[in-house]
Structure 1
Amino acid sequence: MADSIQFEIEGVNALAEKLQGLPQDMRKKGGRFALRKAANLVRERVKDSARRLDDPETANNIADNVVVRWDGKHFRQTGDLKFRVGVLGGAKSRQKNQQNPGGDTYYWRFLEFGTENMRAQPFLRPALAESINAATQEFVTQYDKALNRAIKRAAKQTGGN
């Protein structure tokens, strides 16, 4: 059951050239900023999809529990930047006194993946597939802006123009 998502990134060559003159910490900081902006686009698409599935008669709201989280463990292990888009509560079993803004939405997994008694109504995976091109372009645009700011700051610190 491997789904395939294909996309094309344009503008990466220009970014790569700008990266050559910057220290590693400036590259990572700008990349993290740009990656968060791209992940936020995906989050908004997931929220829109989740709103269509939420029952308005209940206090629980999956869309309110969709979040973007920095994956620090992955960064420490690999050095790669990574944000996760998901639903609060994750794959944990139903817990009492859970403090999520949208209430206890443990059942999102049943909607996304289905059960033996109900068909899947995915909202996470299709939202990613629909927004991957826009998110990629947002990353390239935001990273380019961040790199330009970093280059200007570096030039000021060295006394250049």
Structure 2
Amino acid sequence: MADGIRFDVSGLDGIRYKMAQVKREVNYKGGRAALRRAANVLRDQAQSNARRVDDHETETAIWKNVAVRWNGRAFKQDGVLAFRVGVLGGAQAGRAAQQGTSNPGGITWYWRLLEFGTSKMAAQPIFRPVPDQAGQKAVDVFARSFNQVLDRVLAKQGAA
């Protein structure tokens, strides 16, 4: 599934030149906004995958807990812009899982059992097929959004 995935990044041709002309803060802010839009595309695909495997007869809903979060650790350590797409509450079980009662979809620690399977149940992946299903669309959304931000900033700089 996720092995050997290739994406066409043809929308980023003039981006390097534009990035060199604007301040680093602008690249970070615009890049973060564009990256969030791309991550939202992946989140939407993961939510539709989760709806497919979710048990509709229970109160809990994995798809409601699929969320996009800013990865502050990667940014602080390496200066890398990154978002994480995952399930609120993580993969905790037992007493720690009870903290997820305030999540929109309830306590859904069992999502990992569906994702990876068990010795008695075949895997029903939610996240692993997402790059194949929506990866190229996410790259296209990022390229378009970031180009728009850079064009807007360069137009302001030219007017100033």
Q: Does 1:46 align with 2:49?
A: no
The 2-side partners of 1:16 and 1:97 are apart by 44
What's the offset of the Cα at 1:8? 1.7
Among candidates 140, 151, 155, match of residue 137 of structure 1: 140
Q: Is the 8 A contact 1:46 1:128 kept in 2?
A: no
**How many pairs were matched up?**
157
Partner of 2:128: 125
TM-score, with length taken from structure 1: 0.92
Alignment CA distance shift 1:75-1:97 (3 Å): closer
Higher helix share: 2
Residue 97 of structure 1 and its aligned partner are, at CA, apart by 4.5
* Contact 2:91–2:110 (Cα < 8 Å) also in 1: no
After superposition, the CA RMSD in angstroms is 1.5
SS of equivalent residue, structure 2 residue 91: coil
2-structure distance, mates of 1:34, 1:10: 16
Residue aligning to 2:61: 61
Identity across aligned pairs (percent)? 43
C-alpha displacement of 1:4: 2.5
Query: In 1, Cα distance between the equivalents of 2:21 and 2:37?
Result: 24
TM-score (norm 2): 0.92
User: Within 2, Cα distance between the matches of 1:117 and 1:55?
Assistant: 18
Please list every run of 5 or more consecutive structure 2 residues that lacks an aligned counterpart in the other structure.
Answer: none
Q: 1:2 to 1:49 in 2, by over 3 A?
A: closer
Give the superposition deviation at 1:52. Answer: 0.7
Write the deviation string for residues 95-154 of structure 1: whole angstroms up to 9, x where unpaired. 224211001111100000111111111011112221010000000000001111221233
Structure 1 residue runs without a partner (length 5+) = none
The alignment status of 1:31 with 2:31, answered yes or no, reads yes
Structure 2 distance, partners of 1:118, 1:137, is 36
1:147 aligns with 2:150: yes
2:25 partner letter: D
